[in-house]
Chain A
Amino acid sequence: MNNEPNEIKPFFPLGELYFYLTGDCNLRCRHCWIKPKYLLAGRSSSYLDKTLFAEIIAQAVGLGLSGVKLTGGEPLLHPQIADLIAIVQKGGLRLTIETNGTLCNREIAEKIASVENVFVSVSIDSPDQDIHEWIRGKKGCFFEAVAGVKNLVQFGVRPQIIMTIMHSNKDQLEPLVRLAESLGAGSVKFNILQPTARGEQMFADGEAVDIAELIKLGKWVDEELSKTTKLPLYYDVPLAFRSLKSMFSPKSGNGCHTCGIFRILGVLADGSYALCGIGETVPDLIFGDAAHDPLKNVWENSAVLNDIRAGLPAKLKGVCSECLLKHVCLGSCIAQNYYSNRDLWAPHWFCQEAYNRGLFPASRLRRPPENQPLQEKEKQLPEAKNSGYP
């Protein structure tokens, strides 16, 4: 008789699939973290097969699937995009679409709006047509994106507008919020340029804003800009740089940059299973092939995924190992960290550089560096009747 207690394996539901639907894009954005092939016109010819898409979803539902993200390349370039949306809708799943907006005509917008639980983000990098088009590499794409947003709004979907901050647009955060308000958007998210794929060239060309300035901008968005608008604003830096107040604000959500790797799997346009979309540029993070490998086997037995589950966050290195928020943040983005260092446990580049330069908030470190004392509070908590009830 076996007297050993049964081993209880931790259970990780597969909550969301990120589908990188096509290997192509109709824009040539200078900061794209994937580097898809540029398609001047027409529909994509390298895309995920519709039957395979449906098959993957059917397998994933048994593993806990509750939502699907369609991204790319440009997901709306997929020649059967309406059918894919219908599959998600039929499955009663939450749908997220990340698009550049330019192909979001009335017909597609209506289809998207027919999904009960839907979230769409549209990238607009500047309220200024010339700057947006310089960043996105195609004439005419500004008004196409604006029209895409309007179509969505007309059918009752208020998309999130996403702007990636770089030198050419760093003074335009406020006008972008005003544009988003005027279009009827639902929220605005400011992304930080990442040194990944085409973004690496942007760093080499000096287009990346210095992190000291990015930290200041984030505080300004949090404390000033957010007071001027009813729209929720998300400034997408790792958690250590966000105030606790903003993390717990009712306006928070859909922008909290913590790594979702325990519940997410990527599917590339060729049907490969990958660590989010990073398999597009880092083939060692491809775990299998949907046409041949059962999803359950990939999700439960992939050596890399199981290493991540066993090691995160305890094995994180550098500043992440000392960070008080690592259990929530999980290193911010394992895919990004791997891309930069070919090491799953590498710290996030933004936090590590901030730490090296003495810019990392000391209150968020287990052991603050000796040369960086904890901030002395200027005032004590309300002893007098002047602060109001928190």
Chain B
Amino acid sequence: MDEYINTKMTANPLIVLREEFDDWAILFNPDTGDTYALNPLGVFIWKRLDGTQTVSEITEAIRTSAENVPDEVGKEVEDFLRDIVRLGLASGEKPSS
């Protein structure tokens, strides 16, 4: 688990982010037409998947950016990232040991 929170995540550059008026967004793959909905938290995370920020840094950014962040946010971020990696929307680079 500790190893995972130090992973630096990168969004798949082929995937297009379409932001909407209410802070939700659509992710879509122009090659396959596959589409996914992102809630505002997902959008916040997606915008930080530039290969420089670790999972724990992204979680920390959420904690300092919004009010009423629940304690379980770390788990939510990890679950979300595991999902998008599984779907081929992002990839992670583990820290060198």
Chain A residues engaging chain B, CB cutoff 8 angstroms = 243-245, 247-248, 324-328, 361, 363-364, 366, 374-375, 377, 381-390
Kindly state the separation between the CA atoms of A384 and B21 in the bound complex, as whole angstroms: 19
The chain A residue with its CB closest to the CB of B27 is A324
Please give, as numbers and ranges, the residues of chain B lying within 8 Å of A390 by CB-CB distance: 23, 39-41, 66
A327 to B33, Cβ gap below 8 A?
Answer: yes
- With contact pairs A248-B39, A384-B65, A390-B41 given, residues A366 and B23 touching in the complex (Cβ less than 8 Å): no
Q: Are A366 and B37 in contact (CB under 8 A)?
A: no
Most chain B C-beta atoms within 10 Å of own C-beta, residue among A327, A385, A390:
A390
The answer for the CA separation of A374 and B73 in the assembled complex, in Å, is 31
CB atoms of B66 and A387 under 8 A apart: yes
A248 CB to closest chain B CB, in angstroms? 7
- Asked if B44 contacts A382 (CB within 8 A), the reply is yes
Whether the pair B35, A389 counts as a contact (CB closer than 8 A) is no
Which of B23, B33, B34, B68 has a CB less than 8 Å from the CB of A381? B23
* Chain B interface extent, by class: 20 to 34
**21 A-B pairs, CB-CB below 8 angstroms?**
A243-B20, A243-B24, A244-B22, A244-B25, A244-B37, A245-B24, A248-B37, A248-B39, A324-B28, A324-B35, A325-B35, A327-B34, A328-B35, A363-B26, A364-B18, A381-B23, A382-B40, A385-B66, A389-B66, A389-B70, A390-B39
A327 → B minimal CB distance (Å): 7
B65 touches A385 (CB 8 A): yes
Nearest A residue (CB) for B28:
A324
Q: Please, how many angstroms separate the alpha-carbon atoms of A319 and B42 in the complex?
A: 28
Most chain B CB within 10 A, of A248, A324, A327, is at A324
Residues of B within 8 A of A328 (CB): 35
**B64 interface contact, C-beta 8 A:** yes
**Bound complex: CA of A325 vs CA of B28, how far in Å?**
10
Interface residues of B in 58-77 (CB under 8 A from A): 62, 64-70, 73
- The CA of A247 and the CA of B18, in the complex, are separated in Å by 17
Name the one of B18, B34, B38, B40 contacting A374, with C-beta atoms under 8 angstroms: B18
Q: Tell me the chain B residues, 75-97 only, with Cβ under 8 Å from chain A.
A: none
A388 to B68, CA, bound (A): 6
Chain B: CB-nearest residue to A244? B24
Q: How far is the CB of B28 from chain A (nearest CB, A)?
A: 5
Give the 10 A-B CB pairs with smallest separation, nearest first.
Answer: A390-B40, A244-B24, A363-B18, A244-B37, A389-B66, A389-B68, A324-B35, A390-B41, A389-B69, A382-B65
**Cβ of B5 < 8 Å from any Cβ of A?**
no
- Give, as a whole number of angstroms, the nearest-CB distance from A253 to chain B: 16
Q: Which residue of A lies closest to B39 (CB)?
A: A390
Q: Please tell me if B43 contacts chain A, counting CB pairs below 8 Å.
A: yes
Instruction: Please give the distance in Å from B68's CB to the nearest CB on chain A.
Output: 5
Asked if B19 and A377 make an inter-chain contact with CB atoms under 8 angstroms apart, the answer reads yes
Q: How far is the CA of A244 from the CA of B67 in the complex (A)?
A: 23
Per the 8 Å Cβ criterion, residues 26-57 of B in contact with A are 26, 28, 30, 33-35, 37-41, 43-44, 47
By a CB distance below 8 angstroms, the chain A residues around B37 are 244, 247-248
